[in-house]
Amino acid sequence: MTAPIVRFAPSPTGRIHIGNARTALYNWLFAKSRGGRFILRFDDTDLARSRREFADAIEVDLRWLGVEPDVIVRQSERFALYGAAMDRLRAANRLYACYETQEELDRKRKRQLGRGLPPVYDRAGLALTADDRARLEAEGRKPHWRFLLDREVVAWDDLSRGSSRIDCASLSDPVLVREDGAYLYTLPSVVDDIDLGVTHVIRGEDHVTNTAVQLQLFKALAPERAPPQFAHHNLLATASGEGLSKRTGSLSISSLREQGMEALAVAALAVLTGTSDSVRVVAALDELALDLSHVSHTAAKFDEADLAALTARTLHGLPFAAVAARLVALGVEGAHAEAFWLAVRGNIETLAGVSEWRAVVFDEIEPVREDADYLREAAAALPPEPWGADTWRIWTEALKARTGRKGRALFHPLRLALTGRDKGPELAALLPLIGREKALARLG
């Protein structure tokens, strides 16, 4: 295989959600594992609804996930290409003007359904003469433009779904340009894929039917080159089975980030949910080997509870180097930062949980003192500094010998006094970080 060129093509009309991230990651992983290129293409031809702030937010979300585009393209800057494609289609008699209103089209569909016929457009626009068109335009009507489909079966080998076919006789000729001159999705998408040399289109299964139309457009506009290969993956739904939508903001990447979910956990769950591969902790994005044939053909449910659990498991295994820069923002830096991270990482559910243990180790706390006599004896038995990994063992063994205590009676009062918490990280790791002076003060 030559180095693939793929694209992720969101409309900047809202925040991307976990389902959008799934498509972006599938494309990025497919390209990067094969030495290819990843294009971020903003489908912003709908100038009324598209917003630059949403586009900027999408870039931020992708960067947070570890997805860096090689090229960024905005369809709103490429209208000349689409106009030239329209001219070529007109010249080839593959584009024709239609003047029905939406209400008229709805009535046609209802009549067809009432007669037991499929609601396919009847191509009435093809029968219009020049005089007919002039009369309709004199009435104030403006045309929308349809692509004339060849009524044939279009087949392709889908990299995810296998052998696929659509009978285009069952489809209406698609509208490419609306009455107001706005381009719909289909034409700009194909023109850009041709112009940018896209070799693989990896997207959700809701686009399967579009593929037949687009393959015909590829043939009409670039008959000299092979069209891209297609892969249609299953869609993610909420835990309750509802579809995801940018409009509602459900499971948006920005909201997951604000909740403290780890980018690696989000990526792993987005990629592996609904596949034959088990969801697992990864230490880097490129550990997510992608095999499109492993993707299920049924919808997959994404459960936020699973994400929270995977976030915690991801943090528990992250080395200090992976979080050092983020820890600085939480007030953890300096000579003891790595030892602190290794001590507490197993006891946090999100990185923000570091703050609680930073305060326990480095700040003043309100100790919980149970059994004052025992704590005074413990203070008297504290070893001299310097302290290291063996200090806790040496200290508690001495206390056991002096008091006869063992188990919870030996350890629990010390934990309460030293941390003010009923449970937490191993005290063998925390004690050297707390230091002898703080330990004495907390023991009372």
Residues of the chain with pLDDT under 50: none
Residues 6+ apart with CB under 8 A from 343: 357, 425, 426, 429, 430, 433
Q: Domain residue spans in the chain?
A: 1-74+185-317, 80-177, 320-362, 372-443
Of 11, 213, 44, give the one whose Cα is nearest residue 23. 11
Q: Are 302 and 251 in contact (CB under 8 A)?
A: yes
- Amino acid identity of 174? P
Residue 244 has a CB neighbour count (10 Å cut-off) of 21
pLDDT recorded at residue 1: 66
| pTM over 0.85, yes/no | yes
The three state secondary structure string of the chain is CCCCEEEECCCCCCCCEHHHHHHHHHHHHHHHCCCCEEEEEECCCCCCCCCHHHHHHHHHHHHHHCCCCCEEEEHHHCHHHHHHHHHHHHHCCCEEEECCCHHHHHHHHHHHHHCCCCCCCCCHHHHCCHHHHHHHHHCCCCCEEEECCCCCEEEEEECCCEEEEEEHHHCCCCEEECCCCCECCHHHHHHHHHHCCCCEEEEEHHHHHHHHHHHHHHHHHCCCCCCCEEEEECCEEECCCCECCCCCCCCEHHHHHHCCCCHHHHHHHHHHCCECCCCCCCCCHHHCCCCHHHECCCCEEECHHHHHHHHHHHHHHCCHHHHHHHHHCCCCCCCCHHHHHHHHHHHCCCHHHHHHHHHHHHCCCCCCCCCHHHHHHHHHCCCCCCCCCCHHHHHHHHHHHHHCCCHHHHHHHHHHHHHCCCCCCCHHHHHHHHHHHHHHHHHC
Residues 314, 180: Cα–Cα separation, whole Å: 50
Q: Is the CATH number 3.90.800.10 carried by domain 80-177?
A: yes
Contacts within 8 Å (CB) and 24+ apart, 290-293: 290/26, 290/29, 290/30, 290/33, 292/26, 292/30, 292/159, 292/160, 292/202, 292/231, 292/233, 293/159, 293/160
Fold of 1-74+185-317: Rossmann fold (3.40.50)
- Amino acid identity of 352? A
Q: Is the CATH number 1.10.10.350 carried by domain 372-443?
A: yes
- Amino acid identity of 100? E
Burial of residue 210 (number of CB atoms within 10 Å: 0-12, 13-18, 19+) = buried
